[in-house]
Amino acid sequence: MIITVTLNPAVDKVYWVEQLRICEVTEEEFLTRAIRSATSAGGKGVNMSVFLSSMGMENVAMGFVGGHTGHVIVRDLRDRGVTTNFIWTREETRTNVTVLEKGRESVPLFIGEPGGGVTPHEMERFMRRYRRMLPRAEWVVLAGSLPGGVDAGMYLELASMAQDAGAKVVLSSGGEPLLRSFEACPYLVKPDTREHRELMGFDLASREKIVEAGRRIVSCGAEMVVISHQVTGDIAVTRDGVWEIKSAVPTGEFRNLVGADDVFLAGILYRLVQEDSVQEALRFGLAAGLASAESDEKVCGDIHRIEAEMEKVTVERI
């Protein structure tokens, strides 16, 4: 069984527009009408849970939710077959907004709320529940940002607890929570570099620097590190070598990039759980992410589409 932990989930609200109007003066017309919109449960671990459930893989989504938006998340996840085990908080769960302009879907406008805080009592309740769940878990996913009031070393603590219980840890986060967690030697690491293209002291502007950063993380104890390189390509660094995963799919075919990166990681995990080779796990993961990016639906769980995408993906040792 897989546990996904999303301590700072969100409701994802996506708007598709013909043209995003940015006005220069107040007298100008400022209304932008949406062609359509979509609302769904969001957050890195949440998106991964949705994909894993679509593949028939047992998993439990944990974290914090609160208020009306918290109910939206729980209802949406249960409708998609995800087992939920959230702690309810007094703070309202955040909402993230993405605007996709026609013809420019590959460069979305993303507005992310910080989210409410978590009290010590709420965190204590989560830790008790998390500790009870761990004996059942083979894998634990720790993903996304931390809510207010949570120490940056939380992922280190959760990862250490999971490993002590015999579970392998997947980590997808950024900043100090990511860096501090390396002490626990997570099995699979996917740094979140959306805000800052810098990692382990390296500017991730080139393939060479990405490889150096990945090797530095592997030297800290990780088995595999996957770092985004281009929109349709990533680089994986393991103790056995370095691979570049890429596809020739043109960015003009993308319809919705929200969550695609999380599906990519979930696809890798799905195949690793089935004990596939690293290369096949990487191919399947990128194919799953691309299938989602080419769909209006945030998470594409159509195995036939994913397998068709795999024909376009290459994994080359570098």
Domains of the chain, each with CATH number or no CATH? 2-7+41-92+115-317 (3.40.1190.20)
pLDDT of 209 reads 87
pLDDT of 138 reads 98
Q: Is pLDDT of 131 > 90?
A: yes
CA distance 16 to 6: 26
> How much is the pTM?
0.94
Q: Is pLDDT of 287 > 70?
A: yes
pLDDT class of 48 with cuts at 50, 70, 90: very high
CA distance 305 to 291: 7
CA distance 226 to 200: 14
Q: Which residue has the higher pLDDT, 266 or 115?
A: 266
CA distance 215 to 239: 8
- What percent of the chain lies above the pLDDT cut of 90? 79
pLDDT of 228 reads 84
Across the range 295-300, mean pLDDT stands at: 92
Residue 297, H or E segment: none
pLDDT of 231 reads 65
Across the range 68-81, mean pLDDT stands at: 97
pLDDT of 16 reads 95
* Neighbour order of strands in the sheet with 10-17: 34-42, 10-17, 94-101, 109-111
pLDDT in tens, 213-247: 999 999 989 999 999 877 677 999 999 999 999 99
